[in-house]
Amino acid sequence: MLTCPNCGLPIRLESLACENCETTVMFDPQSLTVVRLGDAENAQGAALAPCANRTLLCNWAVPADAAQNLCFSCRITRRRPDGSDPASLEHLAVSYQAQRRLLIGLADLGLPVVPYWVTDGGLAFDLLDSTTSGEKVMIGQANGVITIDLAETLDAHREAQRVRLGEPYRTVLGHFRHEVGHYFSWQLVEKPGGPMLDELRELFGDERASYQDALDRHYSNGAPAQWATNYISEYATMHPSEDWAETFAHYQHILATLSTAANGGLRLVPPESTHFFDEMIVPRDSYADVDFSVALRDWRWVASFLNRANNAMGNDDLYPFRIPETVVAKLEFVHRVVRSSHTETPFVEAA
Ligand SMILES: [Zn+2]
Ligand SMILES: [Zn+2]
């Protein structure tokens, strides 16, 4: 559990200081723990220093003797606004935050994050701002490079897009989780040409199908009428690659939120009258060692509770989706793919 190194209370992933005792802190990506800003050492006893982008609200740490003064997350950002327009730096800070949360989620899942400086086709992020550059930015992934339009950090823009496209959910973090899905499909399933590739095509369709045709069809006809029985979202119906990326994003949404619930100590006690679940629901920090059906059982009740909690505040559902049986099979496949590549040292600094 992430706790304040001074007072021991739970602390947010993004915190620069504890909300309770005001101790200034940083997040150490190597140990995945929160440490004091001042005299902190990591598990290997090396001194830690704050990332030079702390002015952009980055709370990650770097080894004090490292050659560079930017953290792993800030360095894996390959292109970003130069700061000549102050507005773009505000957008960048929001995007950086989502990117760090993405990376921590991947580390929690044990997925290897191999950056572009280690290998050709390694992961890189281009965070480009169409609002200040005036240039069109296409959100996407190609050869390991994930491009995000910083315009998506603006509530008015993002919400207008969400309504225009009829989406129940649209967040910057969601974009990151979707695009990284394309990267991991390429790295873990398609690239080795291994036994999982056949299964990928059986479940999602042939990823080699023409993307342009799919795009044209989707934006002129929309999703097929009965889409909800086979897909997690309308966008997933467009192309097998998008179905995989949407499913992979949901896999991360579900496990990250269950992990947060576990860290917060959430327990759901079944009401006496129900026959739906007869034992207490206790979310786990990790579901790596169990069948994905365990995660889905827990998620069903945790999501149902969190939706009602959101509704109590006058907000829409936290998780405005239904998971049909066909999608359960796709999520189980994602679970097996993720487990097949488990690593204990997710953030790879050197070859
Ligand atoms: Zn504290
Ligand atoms: Zn940083």
Look-up of token digits 């479940």: 203
Q: Which ligand is nearest to the CA of 10?
A: 1
How many Å lie between the centroid of ligand 2 and the Cα of residue 50? 8
Contacts of 303 (CB under 8 A, 6+ apart): 254, 257, 318, 319
Domain presence at residue 106:
no
Ligand 1 center to residue 24 CA distance, Å?
Answer: 9
Burial of 9 by CB count in 10 Å (0-12 exposed, 13-18 middle, 19+ buried)? exposed
Domain-embedded: residue 151 = no
pLDDT attached to residue 133: 85
C-alpha distances in Å from residue 26, one per residue of 21, 184, 215: 15, 28, 43
Mean pLDDT of 58-69: 91
Please give the share of the chain, as a percent, with pLDDT higher than 70: 97
Q: Which residue has the higher pLDDT, 101 or 64?
A: 101
pLDDT at res. 268: 93
Side chain identity at 59, as an amino acid letter?
N
d(CA 241, ligand 1 centre) in Å: 44
d(CA 69, CA 54): 11
C-alpha to C-alpha distance for 341 and 351, rounded to whole angstroms: 17
User: How many contiguous H segments (helices) and E segments (strands) does the chain have?
Assistant: 10, 8
- Residues in the chain, total: 351
Q: Which DSSP helix (H) or strand (E) runs through 36?
A: strand 33-36
Q: What is the pLDDT of residues 227-259, one digit of tens each?
A: 999 999 999 999 999 999 999 999 999 999 999
Count up the domains in the chain and report the number.
1
Q: Give the ligand whose atoms come closest to the C-alpha of residue 17.
A: 1
Question: Helix 240-263 crosses helix 86-108 at what angle (to 10 degrees)?
Answer: 80
The range of the structural domain enclosing residue 39 comes to: 1-70
Categorise residue 81: left if φ over 0, alpha if ψ from -120 to 50, beta otherwise. Answer: beta
- The reply to whether 57 falls in a domain is yes
User: What pLDDT score does 299 carry?
Assistant: 97
Whether 199 is covered by a domain: the verdict is no
Other beta carbons within 10 angstroms of residue 131's beta carbon come to 17
Q: What is the number of the ligand closest to the CA of 3?
A: 1
CB 23 within 8 A of CB 6: yes
Q: Using the mean position of ligand 2's atoms as its centre, give its distance from the Cα of residue 217 in Å.
A: 41
Does residue 271 register a pLDDT over 90? no
- Between the CA of 229 and the centroid of ligand 1 the distance, in Å, is 47
Amino acid letter for position 73: S
pLDDT at 46: 77
